[in-house]
Amino acid sequence: MKTLTFNNGDQLPILGLGTWKSKPGEVFQAVLWALEAGYRHIDCAAIYNNEKEVGDALARAIADGIVKREDLFVTSKLWNDCHRLEDVRKGLSKTLMDLKLDYLDLYLIHWPISFKKGVGFAESREQFYTYSDVPLAQTWQGMQQVKSEGLVRHIGVSNFNISKLEELFAVGGQGPEMNQVEMHPYLRQDKLVEYCRGKEMLMTAYSPLGSGDRSTSIKKSDEPNLFEDPIVKQIADQYDVSPAQVLIAFSIHRDIAVIPKSVNKERINQNFQSATIQFKSPDLDLLLGIKNQYRFIDGSFFTGSKSPYSLRDLWEEV
């Protein structure tokens, strides 16, 4: 398995199992299947509400000798209601307890959006904090602290644009080591990728398949289907693989970690085999040249008249 390397030499398997939208009752078996198939990178988050079951699967796999803890790379994310300095460690402690781990390999600030403590998804202005209430610099100082305590090996962010990343680098000390964002041929994030590489930050692509199984409440009726893109289908036929495998391999060929989600054993195995696909340069160029650009996870559920935040707080322009 191809790996990406942090500045201290630690390595991240470039292909991982995503667990967003994996339901309790399904995710336990999905994680076990993935580890049996050879995955060693598991991506989690507190707000996915399934970390206890993921933790049960990790514990079972370790006890059964399928994998050793030191061979695993486990990522989780700090939810929006734990952005105050005093809450960062509390959020992490709950995640470590649920995952049954002594440390995380990577811990990310999930969104550059702050809620008041105990809020799952803010539904009124009173449930939000503003950047004046809780500056991102304060949250980042909390992340630096938990790393210095050895509770996490690496720290980073998710869904951060360049201006928000600049705020964190201005704090001094350890800067973000990872930025996890939506990426696929319809959202290459070229400007953000160039910036992160210039800062020696690694990147992870979430929703590499377009996240078609997400809730209809956060979908648009006319959104495109990555699997039906003519170029994706052409290359899939050419290499005798599935469109999903082409989309996963797209990120791998860009040296960007990728975390497709599945709870289906066959698809988990197929996704893992994407790492063996060797595109020829002209085919990668075709994927990089797709004109259609679309953001599936647009973040609009965090903005609007009841929120102090706007989409400019989240994204670079496509």
Residues assigned a catalytic role: 48
The DSSP result for 240-277, as a single string, is: T--HHHHHHHHHHHTT-EE--B---HHHHHHHHHGGG-
E strands present in 46-191: 73-78, 106-109, 114-115, 128-129, 155-158, 178-182
Rounded to 5°, angle at Cα 103 from 68 and 173: 130
- How far the first Cα of the chain sits from its last, in Å, is 31
Task: Report how far residue 218's alpha carbon sits from residue 167's, in angstroms, rounded to the nearest whole number.
Answer: 29
Element (H, E) at 168: helix 162-169
The answer to whether 110 is annotated as binding is yes
> What angle is formed at CA 268 by the lines to CA 266 and CA 270, rounded to 5 degrees?
70
Residue 144 structure tokens: 């630096």
Closest CA to 104 of 78, 142, 136: 78
Q: Which of 165, 20, 141 is nearest to 89 (CA)?
A: 141
CB atoms near residue 214 (< 10 Å): 15
| Distance between CA atoms of residues 245 and 270, nearest Å | 7
Quickly tell me which residue has 């811990």 as its tokens: 107
Q: Binding-site residues, please?
A: 110
Q: Binding-site residues for substrate, please?
A: 110
